[in-house]
């Protein structure tokens, strides 16, 4: 799937969210990208397994994915109390047996996984909106908790070597850095270098709509 050059959808921004009285939040960007992300995951994932979603946000991705992939057990987490409230509201409304109770996990903290061995760690739209130390912690945590041959899958906007950055992502990067100088659209080459240093493999790259990518960093077998 290639991003259309004239795709009118903006990248994920610092955004205002609607919410229901039951606590479910709606992220405009998740509303736009969740179908594409879940379609891509359905093609990327093996028939069954355990997936930890970090920085899961509202819960819209988790519910759609757990519906679409019933043989995958989905463990949604976030560090933000408001996100956890929304995640729990979406999960309790969806009542999906394979969607586990959302729990607190700070990527930069200890990962309270009680020895669980994961097939996939998934992170959507977090690396640009957090310091680079979060990427380091994500790679380290994934390597600690993935089974051999498991994958860290990361979705978002990235600058790729030898690909001219589109104006919308350059502007997005500037907005992020203005909001916090530690944030910004990440260079894939820098992420790959950090991942390799943690014994992950060079990622596969799947182009997604609106100039986003799905990166898959496998662990060694």
Ligand X SMILES: C[S@@+](CC[C@H](N)C(=O)[O-])C[C@H]1O[C@@H](n2cnc3c(N)ncnc32)[C@H](O)[C@@H]1O
Which residues of this chain interact with ligand X, rule CB under 6 A?
12, 27, 29-30, 54-57, 61, 78-80, 83, 106-108, 124-126, 129-130, 134
Which residue lies nearer to ligand X by CB, 78 or 173?
78
Provide the minimum distance between the beta carbon of 149 and ligand X in the complex, in angstroms, as a whole number: 24
Phi, psi (rounded to 5 degrees) for 152: -100, 120
CB 156 within 8 A of CB 124: yes
Which residue lies nearer to ligand X by CB, 130 or 219?
130
Which residue lies nearer to ligand X by CB, 39 or 106?
106
Concatenated DSSP letters of 179-208: H-TT--PEEHHHHHHHHHHTTBPPPEEEEE
Strands 103-104, 186-187: pairing is: unpaired
Tell me the residue number closest to ligand X, measured at CB: 57
Which residue lies nearer to ligand X by CB, 55 or 120?
55
- Spatial CA neighbour of 112 closest among 75, 149, 139: 75
Provide the minimum distance between the beta carbon of 102 and ligand X in the complex, in angstroms, as a whole number: 11
Provide the minimum distance between the beta carbon of 82 and ligand X in the complex, in angstroms, as a whole number: 8
Other CB atoms within a 10 A radius of the CB of residue 108 amount to 16
Provide the minimum distance between the beta carbon of 162 and ligand X in the complex, in angstroms, as a whole number: 27
């Amino acid at each position: 799937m290639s991003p259309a050059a004239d795709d009118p959808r903006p990248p994920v921004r610092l955004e205002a969210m609607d919410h229901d009285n039951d606590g479910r939040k709606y992220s405009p960007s998740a509303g736009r990208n969740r179908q594409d992300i879940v379609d891509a995951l359905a093609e990327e994932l093996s028939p069954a397994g355990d997936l930890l979603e970090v920085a899961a946000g509202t819960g819209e991705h988790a519910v759609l994915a757990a519906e679409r992939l019933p043989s995958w057990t989905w463990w949604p987490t976030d560090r933000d109390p408001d996100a956890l409230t929304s995640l729990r509201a979406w999960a309790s409304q969806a009542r999906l047996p394979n969607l586990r109770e959302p729990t607190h996990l700070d990527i930069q903290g200890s990962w309270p996984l009680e020895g669980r061995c994961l097939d996939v760690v998934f992170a959507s739209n977090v690396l640009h909106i957090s310091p680079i130390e979060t990427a380091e912690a994500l790679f380290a945590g994934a390597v600690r908790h993935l089974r051999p041959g498991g994958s860290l899958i990361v979705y978002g906007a990235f600058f790729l070597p030898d690909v001219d950055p589109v104006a919308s992502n350059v502007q997005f990067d500037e907005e992020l850095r203005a909001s916090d100088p530690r944030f910004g659209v990440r260079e894939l080459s820098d992420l790959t270098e950090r991942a390799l240093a943690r014994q992950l493999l060079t990622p596969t790259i799947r182009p997604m709509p609106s100039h986003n990518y799905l990166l898959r960093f496998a662990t060694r077998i």
